[in-house]
Amino acid sequence: MVRAGLEPAVTGARVTAVTIFDERSLRRHPGPTEDFVDRLVGDTMLAPQRRGKFMWIPLASGSDALVTHLGMSGQVLLRDTATDDPRTRIRLDLEHPAHGPVRLNFVDQRIFGSMAIDELVPTADHPEQLVPTAVSHIARDPLDLRFDDRRFLTRLAAKNTTIKRALLDQTLISGIGNIYADESLWAARVHYEQPTATLSRARAKVLLAEVRLVLAKALTEGGTSFDTQYLNVNGQAGYFAHSLNAYGRQGEPCPRCGRPIVRESFMNRGSHFCPYCQRVR
């Protein structure tokens, strides 16, 4: 959602000024604050791209990109040139050839997110495609046109783990967080503790299809916002939370069978599922 919102506003825009309000948001940048500023000012931004929780904007001057990781509470907001948001850590002033001046605020309450300039390197499966070095270990997400279903299913079957842990493994598949894992598993009727070695290939194909449906619907509805930290670039909340079937619905009736949804502790988070519809097979 953030990438799609930024694309028309920053593609082709020239960076006219960079203001750093909190240097902690540059902790992943391989150099001092002045280096970050000097390498951005005067350069032109190309179309934003993303993989997992990483988003990057290639720079026209060479083989570098502005890499953003939102962490848990990071936001990238488009504003007019007179507006700064509370907790703005980094501000970029841009001049777009068609839209004129625009301000990009990197806002981060907990300061777990970051911005950095990173080198672009070829991907292993498609060398003509470039990603930042910090992103090279992140797998493609299932909405990526170059996502290899057969390779994913083969690697999934070879893993010695349980299915939800596999879905959250960013080196295997990206883009599936805790919410979308629970929703996809519910839709496919797969228990989150189902061992990957015992998940049939047919069932794994169904699960992958449900993952794609869940992600596509979430994008259509603007993502999932439970509070003001999860907003698009215009500061608007997504409303996919109203379409959730399992996540956050513990104690409520399963939309499929009517029995109560259960929440169990999982990796310092929670797993939400229907014990009747989703059984370990």
User: In percent, how much of the chain has pLDDT > 70?
Assistant: 93
pLDDT for the residue numbered 242: 72
pLDDT score at 83:
80
**Percent of the chain whose predicted confidence (pLDDT) is above 90:** 80
Render pLDDT for 206-234 as a digit per residue (tens, 0 to 9). 999 999 999 999 888 865 544 444 455 66
Provide the β-strand partners of residue 64.
119
pLDDT-derived band at 73, boundaries 50, 70, 90: confident
This prediction's pTM = 0.88
pLDDT, position 124: 87
Within 13 Å of residue 166, how many CA atoms lie on the same side as its CB? 27
Q: How far is CA 52 from CA 78, 175, 249, 256, in A?
A: 21, 5, 26, 30
Give the model's pLDDT for residue 8: 94
pLDDT digits (tens, 9 = 90+) for 8-23: 999 999 999 999 999 9
Which domains are delineated in the chain? 2-135 (3.20.190.10), 149-273 (1.10.8.50)
Residue 263: phi and psi, rounded to 5, are -115, 130
Q: What is the mean pLDDT of the chain?
A: 92
The predicted model gives 246-250 an average pLDDT of 94
What does the alpha-carbon distance between residue 261 and residue 245 come to, in Å, rounded to a whole number?
A: 9
What's the confidence (pLDDT) of residue 236? Answer: 58
Segment 36-59 shows an average pLDDT of 96
Q: For residue 164, which phi and psi values (nearest 5 degrees)? A: -70, -40
Reported as a single tens digit per residue, the pLDDT across 169-187 is: 999 999 999 999 999 999 9
| Contacts (Cβ under 8 Å, ≥6 apart) of 220 | none
Reported as a single tens digit per residue, the pLDDT across 108-165 is 998 999 999 999 999 988 999 999 999 999 999 999 999 999 999 999 999 999 999 9
